[in-house]
Each structure stands twice: as C-alpha cells, then as structure tokens.
Amino acid sequence: MRYLSFEIRGEQFGIQLEKVKEVIAFPPITPAPGMPSHCLGLMRLREQVLPVIDLRIRLKLVPTLTHDTAVVVCELGKTTVGLVVDFINTVVAPDTVDIMPAPLGADGHAIGFVSSIVRREKGLTLILDVGQLISASDEELIQTQAAFQQIRAAA
C-alpha cells in the first residue's frame, strides 16, 4: 500500500494513493448555496468543476489559512472532490509490518472512516476512507474524535 501523507493541525493523516488524483495549492473558491457547512463551494480544475470540502471543518476543527494550505483532489466513486488540508507531506510506501487495522470505536463498532493505521517512527498516521468520512453522521464523528484521542495517546 502507498498513501499520500498530509497534515491537519499538526497530526498526520493519509489517503490511499489509488484514490488520489493530484494535489494543488488552495484555489479560488466560488461559494455555492445550500451546501453543508464543511463544503466551502466549488473550484475549477482545468475543464472540471469540483466541490471543495474542508476536512478540518468536517473534523470539527477551526480552519486556518496559510501558504501551505492545499487541496487533495480525490476520486470518490464516480465523483471527484477537493479536500482542504493544512499541509502536504509526500507519497509514502510503508512497510507492511507497520500497517495495522482500524481499531474499534468507543461504542465497540469499527470506525467507519479510518481504513487503517500506519505506525511511524514518531506517532501514527490515520489512513482515511474519505467517502465514509464525508457521509458519516455528526454523532459518529463525535464518538470517533474520542477514539482518535485514545489511539494517539496509546501510541
């Protein structure tokens, strides 16, 4: 497995490389009415128009904007979306021994939008299943936040 590593609030996350199309700098965004709050609006990418989702807002974090803020263009099934993140690291090919399955959440269910966890020299990288993350309910998210904290603390 390879994944694209990026950061939100200084924590590392990853998306499986197969789902990633490319990365771009934070583009001009046209706000669109009637979208959920984590959807910033629409962006142009060459001949395409894509919805932009701020992963930070989705994760209930306050977003910041710096020169490093970037958009990861991902394939979600048939649609393509832009995901706003704080910082792009690089493409990583981890050793298979470092890849762990997703843990169970606080309620005993598997956390739907974390597909696996990668151990690094310092800390962990949560590999996100973006499709699940976007469609997850707020309740699920809140429960998962608590689980995240536990996982990080245990590492």
Partner 1 sequence: MSDQNELNLSNRLMEACGGLEKSLQTFKDINQKAHFIALSAAIEGARMRSKLGTFSIVASQIANQASNNIQLSEKLEGLIGKITTESLEAIAVRNYELASDLIDKLDRNLFERNCDVQAWATFDEVKNALKLSSDENFERASAILHRLTSIYVVYAESVLLDLTGNIVSAASNKSLIGQDLSARDWYKAALGGQVFVSDLHFSDFVKKRCVFYCAPVLDDNNTVLGVLCNAFNWDYALEMIRSADFAKETRASIINFQGTVIASTHENQILNDNSTWMRAGELAAENCCGFSTEKARNGEPLAIGFSHTKGYNAYKGKNWSAIVAETLGDVEMKVVSKVLENRSHVTTPLKGSANRIASEISCQKLLATMKEIDDLVLEINSNNREVKLLAVNASIQAGLAGADGEGFSIIANEVAVLAKKSLTFVEEVNHITSSLRHAVEYSSSVRLVDAAKDTMSKVDRNLFERYCDIQAWSIFSKLIQVCDANLSSDAEANLLLEKVHRIYEVYHDIYLVNLDGKVIATAINRGLIGQNYSQRDWFKGATSGNIFVSDIYVSETLKMPLMSFSSPVTNADGKMVGVLVSRFNCNFLNDIIRATIIDSSSKCYLLNHDSKVIASAHNDEIHAKSFCDLGVGEYSAKDEHGYFEAKSKQGGVDQSYGFNISKGYNTYRGQKWVTVTERPNRQSVAVKPMDSEDRFRIQVLEKAKRVG
Binding site for partner 1 (CB under 8 A): 2, 4, 17-18, 20-26, 28-29, 31, 37-38, 40, 54, 56-57, 62-65, 67-70, 88, 90-91, 93
In 17-69, DSSP assigns E strands to 20-25, 39-45, 48-54
Residue 28 tokens, joined: 């001009």
Contact between 91 and 5 under an 8 Å Cβ cutoff? The reply is: yes
* Shortest distance in whole angstroms from residue 94 CB to partner 1: 12
CB of 107 to partner 1, least distance (A): 26
CB of 109 to partner 1, least distance (A): 27
Nearest distance, CB of residue 92 and partner 1, angstroms: 9
Structure tokens at 137: 């309910």
- Give the residue with the Cβ less far from partner 1, 32 or 110: 32
Residue 141 token pair: 């998210």
Task: At 70, list the tokens.
Answer: 């970037």
Query: Which CB, 9 or 109, lies closer to partner 1?
Result: 9
The residue (of 59 and 151) whose beta carbon lies closer to partner 1 is 59
Shortest gap between Cβ of 155 and partner 1 (angstroms)? Answer: 25
Residue closer to partner 1 by CB (options 39, 102) is 39
Listed in sequence order, the residues at least 6 apart from 30 whose beta carbon sits closer than 8 Å to its beta carbon are 41, 42, 43
Whichever of 54 and 140 has its CB closer to partner 1, that residue is: 54
CA nearest to 116, candidates 8, 14, 10: 14
What single letter denotes the amino acid at residue 148? F
